[in-house]
Amino acid sequence: MPQNSVTLLSIGSLLVVVASSLSDHVARRRSRRVPRGAAERSPSLYELAYLAGGVRRVVVTALAALARAGVVRFDTDGHVQAVAVGGREDAIEADIIHRLSSRDDRRPVTELCAEMPESAAITALAERLTRQKLLLPAAYRPPVWSRRLLGLAISIAGAAAVISILTGHLLGAVLAVVAVGIGVVAWRRGFRLNKTPLTDAGNYVLANTLTRNRQGEIPGMADVAVAMIGSLGLINPEVRRGLQIAEAFPVGNAEDSWTWKPTQTPPKDYAGGSGDQFGGLPPGAGLI
C-alpha cells in the first residue's frame, strides 16, 4: 500500500476517534441536563452525603455526627456501639441507633453499612434527590449510539495501526496509535462518569457546597466535610480509623455506593464561558 494512502488512513482514523470522543462526551452530558432551578437547591447534610458517595457515605457521615454527639463510640478495630439511645430526630440517625441498640455488643462498621441499603429513611432520601433532579433516576441509561460509534472508531484506528506497522510506515503507525490512545482514554472517562449517578445540577451543588465550606461560608455544619470527602474530613483519629474501614472495603450492593471526585467551582471572577454550556447551569456546573 502506498505510503500516502497509509498516512491518510491513519490521519482519518485519528480524526474519526477525536470526533467520536467529543460526540460521546457531549451526548452523555446532555443526557444529564436538568432545569436550571435544580442547581439552586441547598441539600441537607445527609442529602449531600448521598450525592457524594451513596449509602455508604450517608452511614459514615451519620456515624461521625453521632460520635461527635457522644451517642456512639468507636474502637480502633473498626467496631462501633451505641452508648446512648433515643432523642434523635433525624430518621437516618434514629435507624442507625435502633440497629446498634438491638444488639448489646459491638458491631463492625462494614456490617452496619451493608444493612443500610434496606433503610426506609435512605430510600426516601434517594427518591427525594431524584425528584429534585440532583440524582439520576434508577431507569437512567447513558446513550448507546455514541458508545458504539466510539468503539467502532477505536477499532478503525487499531486496524490502521496494524496496517501501518505491517507496511513499515512509521508516521502512520504513530498517528494510529495516538488515535487508539485517545479513544481508550475517552472510553474509560465515560465509564467513570457512569459510576456516579448525578445530574449536572447534582455535580454543581456538590462542587459549590465544597467551595463554600473550604472558604468558611457554611457555619454550623461541622460534618459537611465528612459528607463531601468522607472519613478524611474527620479530626478525631479514633473515629477516623473506624470509618476508614467502612470506606476501604466494598460493602452491600455496589450500585448503592460510589465516590464523587471532589471538585470546587471556579472563582467568582471566572470568565470561562456561558452557563448554557452545561444546560443553563452556572460556569463549572459540568465539571467533575
Chain mean position to CA 83: 33
Cα–Cα distance, 218 to 213 (Å, whole number)? 5
pTM of the model: 0.77
Cα–Cα distance, 148 to 142 (Å, whole number)? 12
Number of residues assigned to the chain = 288
Please identify every stretch of the chain with a pLDDT value under 70, giving residue numbers as ranges: 1-3, 86-87, 104, 217-222, 249-255, 267-288
Query: What single string gives the DSSP state of each residue in 111-138?
Result: HHHHHGGG-HHHHHHHHHHHHTTSB--T
* C-alpha neighbours within 13 Å on the C-beta side of residue 217: 6
Specify the DSSP element, H or E, that contains 41: none
Q: How far apart are the first and last CA of the chain?
A: 44
Per-residue pLDDT of 111-169, as tens digits, reads: 888 888 888 999 999 999 999 999 998 888 888 888 899 999 999 999 999 988 888 88
